[in-house]
Copies of this chain bind each other. A is one copy, B any other.
Amino acid sequence: MKIGILGTGNVAKVVGAKLRSLGHEVTLGSRDPENSPAKEWAARHGAEISTLAQAAAAAELVVNTAPGLASLDVLTTAGTDNLDGKVVVDVSNGIESRNGVVAVATPDGGSVAEQLQKAFPRARIVKTLNTMAAQVMVDPGRIPGHHTVFLNGDDAAAKAEVAELLKSFGWTEAQIVDLGDVVGARATEAALLLFIRLFNAFQTPEFNLSVAKA
């Protein structure tokens, strides 16, 4: 599948490498592809690097790895028409500093995913993978025992497509928990605070949230 990844940071690279290893065509979208530090990475991994608009235009599926508060601007630059009808996997988290403490940014009083779905009503936003470290996203087997990846979005078919992608990463059906519509992204974006605290407590990102059920 042709996949456009918006962003060139660590998550983009880790997810991009996994997608390449699964045989997908990967294009990283950058504001400045010629001068991006990810240019060498792309060459090394058989991926392309292009503008945000080019990456979105060529893609069958888009992955947003931009920071939460930059995501609206990044997707706007990628272009409404280039996102039309496409599944947009949103792994972003909106964070800001509030009196020196990391806080969850809630654009328009909601979540990044809702903000994007509202701004691009014909894009099919699926929020997922945003509750864990990048290496766990694409290699769930590195964490032993039961643990969970959450899905939110308004489009059931889009969520089903993303669930298949997650399974190709190694996630099992039982690990994938559908939390309902895009408003539910508030829950998983807010869980970033828990992630940060757990990271501080364990001094490693090698963990994941899980849900135990009777």
Task: Determine the main DSSP class of A at the interface with B.
Answer: mixed
* Chain-B contact segment, one of A6-14, A19-27, A72-80, A97-105: A97-105
Within 8 Å by CB of A207, from B110, B143, B200, B213, lies B213
- Measured as residues with beta carbon below 8 angstroms from the partner, the interface class of chain A is 35 or more
Residues from chain B with Cβ under 8 Å of A183 in the complex? 101
Query: Cα distance A184–B212 when bound, in Å?
Result: 22
Q: Are B179 and A213 in contact (CB under 8 A)?
A: no
Q: Which residues of A contact B (CB under 8 A)?
A: 98-99, 101, 103-104, 109-110, 142-147, 177-180, 183-184, 186-188, 190-191, 193-194, 196-198, 200-202, 204, 206-214
15 pairs from A and B in contact (CB 8 Å cutoff): A104-B190, A145-B212, A177-B201, A179-B194, A184-B197, A186-B193, A187-B193, A187-B196, A190-B190, A191-B191, A204-B214, A209-B210, A210-B210, A210-B211, A210-B212
